[in-house]
Chain A
Amino acid sequence: MSSLEKRLAAEKRFKFYGMFAMTLSLFFVLILMYKIFSTGSGAFVRTTINADVYFDPNFIEVSSNSSKKEIMKASYVDLADQVINQNHPGLDEENFIKVREMYTRKFDFQLRDYIANNPNVIGKTVNLDISASSDLDQIVKGNYPRNVPEAQRKINDYQLSILDSLDSKGKMSKTFNFWFFTNGDSRDPETAGILGALMGSFYALLICFSFAFPIGLLASVYLEEFVKPGKITDIIEVNINNLAAVPSIVYGLLGLGMLIGVFGMPYQVPLVGGLVLGFMTLPTIIIASRASLRGVPPSIREGALAVGATKMQTVFHHVIPLSLPGTLTGTIIGMAQALGETAPLLMIGMVAFVMEIPGGAFDPATGLPSQIYLWSESAERGFLEKTSAGIMLLLSFLIIMNTVAVLVRRNLEVKW
């Protein structure tokens, strides 16, 4: 081969390497998305068992004219057992337990909620879809194999036979899993929901925004408009660039050591989480806001100053409004990053098991990403689905936020 041919071959090879590297990177995005969506889609569907429920007054402690509070407080375990006995007549004690395991452990709560919503139902028979247990759900969805020895299965042969007979009678069905969106966390995968974590993240982001946005905006205004470049601005500038690259876990340690340790703020609440996320987001906002302030042409400032505005009036009446879209874009992107941060939440304790849906920034809560982490640590197959579904929810929030940022940039930003 001549030297020119060699060189041209090398050229081709090099171009191919580049293309290969790019394609591989794109491939990683695809494979990640595929894996998440294929494991997570199941969580939005729940297997139910159709059953005739006779609300037998003998097994219900309350009557139809009891107050809602009394209804919520009473126990419905006996009623749940009675319902199973009616729908599966002639069970001995051993088989009864096996059948009971096929229904959700929260069976009695489902009955309670139904009575609370329809108090007149007591004494009547209603046809209800009762949620199946998570293990049964996984068998029906095909995530647990059926053709393995009984000892390796969570659902035994007797339960499988009951399942098949129910199936042949058309009693098994699937519904959209509302619980995933309306419940807090639970030990049982079938009733575990993401709302609590969602609210926790919401309060934390609210705090994060109300801390980082005003302070970031004002700080960038000071650095861009009011001080001449000098030693102090240099220090602040290096400092801000550094803060932007500090690992998030270190911010978590700051929250634990200072906010919780020194100021005595409570553990595992969105208030502390939000402040820590705010510390993290601040540099992002300042950097974006400064770039956007720099984009406002000097003629605007000079025009305002020429007609007699003070420096402060120039900045607040003209420069800031013109730069606001850019600042907002940076803020939304910063908030999207904050929403996905897990490590700081781990440090300040927002990873505990919390069943209640938090009602404010002072209630113990988890965040969306830390809930995903918690579920991913559970061994049960049902939680695997929930983890992926949680990730899907988190990713869709991030996509929404980033789209909003792009829209703000495209439609509101002033072009000079």
Chain B
Amino acid sequence: MLYLSLVFVFILSYSFYFYGKKRALSLKFKKNENLSSLPDYYGYYVVLLVFFPAIIIWFFLLIFKSNFQEMFVMSPVLFPDVATWSSGKFGLIMNKISNLSMIVNLSEIDLTVGDKSILKMASESEIIAAKNLANFDKIYGWSNLTLFIILPVLLGFLATKSISGKLNAQPIVEKIISYVIKGSSYIAIFITFGIFFSLVFEAINFFRYVNFMDFFFNTAWNPNRAFVINASEGFDQEALKEAFGFVPLLTGTLLIASVAMLVAVPLGLLTAIYLAEYASSKVRDIAKPIIEILAGIPTVVYGFFAALSLAPFIKDVGEGVGLPVSAESALAAGLAMGVMIIPFVSSLSDDVIKAVPQSLREGSYAIGATKSETIKKVILPAALAGIMGSFLLAISRAIGETMIVVMAASLRANLTFNPLEPATTITTQIVTSLIGDVEFDNPKTLVAFALGLTLFVMTLILNIAAITIVKKYREKYE
């Protein structure tokens, strides 16, 4: 029904374009009024006045559907003391009602007769509420549909009625569109604010449970200790102190990212040098897109590959030479991640190397340097800043990467710098803490936001540094 009403809004706006235009034309030709704008603009004028209010209201109804659902189901008529309930109790009852509403033959239960088996589980008002909930979608859909037939038609006729020769539609239409365009470009800023505030807000909630210093400087990570001891005592403060120590996650993240960089930096940089300086254009045209395929492969594929083939392979090789290698070693995850990052390093460095002016190369050849000497002593130093920028972007990619480490790295925190041992990362722990029950009043869930905020800040600093370096570098040779 919601989609149907959206379709209606589109159809009605489209037809009102012709209606508005027709009205303007009839003013001109039948009543001989002079129009201030082209007739098309009267059509647009009506469309904008129909479309935007309707679409905004449609969006609000969509977004707040669940709120309406709660208002509809939890009416004070059924539950007189609903205003005094805590949010936890409210959620519990709401859950119970929505489960009840799934009962297939709910509508056949006759409360006047009294089906005792069901009444044992739920109160009478809960069953009525469940029946209401079962009907809610229908009622909501139909009322939505009616609203979205009446509203655009009403707006459309009002707008059409206001058309006269004196009304200059064109500036009005252009003004509205310019606001829409401006608004669209601010959405990017809203998203940043949205990210920042949703992270900060929940992270602050987390730091209500856990001391700031404990979080950043403790070396033990056992979030499972942070369960409620019992309802009245709340959380065991001593256990909370010990539960969330960020240090092993940081070392694990850095360990896996370093392994990845050890793979990606030499391979990526050498590939870039070869493609930019040595390869014939034929080789370049074939090899470059193939390597860029590596960047387009979803990370879940790398994760699967790392967990299925790479990790057992490394384990076998390690045991073959007598080294104890964990099945979830940081090495496997890091290697897969390194392969994923190669194209980031290679294509960015490639651009940077190609941007070095030809005159530098020629000057170097002129004094008798070989190609490799020119590359090592002239081109790379000249391109150093840009290459560093590409490394920084690659590091930021590596610490933010999620699926590879979720699938191939360990879940258990381990304070180590040995790549053969298991290690866990920030992103892995964000995922594990949010899988299963998500409760916004539990530090075990909230810690994900504190970790997310840390990750966001870390990558933000790296990105800004990289972008500034690359920009400065570009300006140097432009």
Contacts and interface: CB of A to CB of B under 8 A. Distances in A.
B198 interface: yes
Name the residue in A220, A253, A394 with the highest tally of chain B Cβ atoms < 10 Å from its Cβ.
A253
B83 interface: no
Interface stretch (A76-84, A137-145, A340-348): A340-348
B78 interface: no
Name the residue in B185, B287, B459 with the highest tally of chain A Cβ atoms < 10 Å from its Cβ.
B185
A299 to B, nearest CB: 23
Contact of A245 (B189, B342, B463): B463
Contacts of B397: 245
A208 interface: no
State the majority secondary structure of interface residues on A: helix
Nearest to A267: B438
A306 interface: no
A349 B445 CA distance: 13
Given A7-B373, A336-B296, A372-B300, A266 B66 contact: yes
Contacts of A64: none
Contacts of B3: 360
B187 interface: yes
B307 to A, nearest CB: 7
A249 B64 contact: no
A15 B271 CA distance: 10
Given A24-B267, A249-B400, A312-B178, A257 B202 contact: yes
Contacts of A236: 185-186, 188-189
Contacts of B346: 25
Given A240-B188, A312-B174, A342 B403 contact: yes
Given A32-B305, A239-B188, A253-B430, A26 B199 contact: no
B273 interface: yes
Contact of A246 (B181, B195, B431): B195
Interface stretch (A100-108, A174-182, A279-287, A322-330): A279-287
Contacts of B195: 246, 250-251, 253-254
Contact of A310 (B64, B170, B188): B170
Nearest to A233: B185
A366 to B, nearest CB: 12
B271 A21 contact: yes
Interface string A231-263: 000011011111101111111011011100111
Given A249-B431, A250-B195, A28 B294 contact: yes
A416 interface: no
A249 B188 contact: no
Given A32-B297, A253-B449, A254-B194, A219 B290 contact: no
A246 B460 CA distance: 7
B271 A247 contact: no
A10 B63 CA distance: 65
B448 A218 contact: no
A22 B274 contact: yes
A151 interface: no
Name the residue in B299, B402, B466 with the highest tally of chain A Cβ atoms < 10 Å from its Cβ.
B402
Interface string A130-169: 0000000000000000000000000000000000000000
B86 interface: no
B407 A373 contact: yes
Interface string B49-81: 000000000000011101100000000000000
Nearest to B294: A29
A270 interface: no
Contacts of B279: 22
A5 to B, nearest CB: 12
A262 B343 CA distance: 38
Contacts, number: 270
Name the residue in B270, B303, B304 with the highest tally of chain A Cβ atoms < 10 Å from its Cβ.
B304
A19 B274 contact: yes
B426 to A, nearest CB: 9
Interface stretch (A43-51, A119-127, A221-229): A221-229
Interface in A351-371: 351, 360, 362, 369-370
A249 B452 contact: yes
A248 B438 contact: no
A384 interface: yes
Interface string B172-187: 0010011011101111
A219 B184 contact: yes
Given A246-B195, A373-B403, A341 B188 contact: no
Given A246-B459, A257-B201, A376-B304, A265 B403 contact: no
Name the residue in A265, A342, A387 with the highest tally of chain B Cβ atoms < 10 Å from its Cβ.
A342
B368 to A, nearest CB: 10
B400 A28 contact: no
B396 interface: yes
Contacts of A310: 170, 174
A35 B279 CA distance: 29
B308 interface: yes
B293 interface: yes
A263 B431 contact: no
Name the residue in A18, A24, A29, A347 with the highest tally of chain B Cβ atoms < 10 Å from its Cβ.
A18
A60 interface: no
B198 A257 contact: yes
A112 to B, nearest CB: 18
B372 to A, nearest CB: 4
Contact of A21 (B63, B266, B376, B467): B266
Interface string B311-324: 00000000000000
A386 to B, nearest CB: 12
B301 A36 contact: yes
B417 interface: no
A369 B430 CA distance: 18
B456 A343 contact: no
A266 B69 CA distance: 11
B163 interface: no
Given A29-B293, A249-B400, A21 B270 contact: yes
A330 to B, nearest CB: 14
A214 B375 CA distance: 45
B274 A18 contact: yes
Given A222-B184, A249-B455, A351 B435 contact: yes
B290 A29 contact: yes
Nearest to A249: B402
B440 interface: yes
Given A10-B372, A219-B184, A253-B198, A239 B402 contact: no
A296 interface: no
Contact of A243 (B191, B302, B435): B191
A143 to B, nearest CB: 13
Interface string B210-247: 00000000000000000000000000000000000000
Given A29-B291, A236-B188, A398-B296, A241 B434 contact: no
A230 interface: no
Interface string A384-404: 100110010011001000100
Name the residue in A218, A245, A279 with the highest tally of chain B Cβ atoms < 10 Å from its Cβ.
A245
Given A226-B178, A257-B201, A395-B297, 10 more contacts: A20-B270, A32-B302, A238-B464, A242-B192, A243-B188, A246-B463, A257-B198, A340-B298, A347-B430, A373-B407
Interface of B: 2-3, 62-64, 66-67, 170, 174, 177-178, 180-182, 184-189, 191-192, 194-195, 197-199, 201-202, 266-271, 273-275, 277-279, 287, 290-291, 293-294, 296-305, 307-309, 339, 342-343, 346, 370-373, 375-376, 393, 396-397, 399-403, 406-407, 427, 430-431, 434-435, 438, 440, 448-449, 452, 455-456, 459-460, 463-464, 466-467
5 contacts: A18-B278, A21-B269, A22-B275, A253-B198, A340-B297
The 8 residue pairs across chains A and B that have the minimum distance between CB atoms: A247-B400, A18-B274, A340-B298, A257-B198, A21-B270, A14-B372, A218-B184, A343-B402
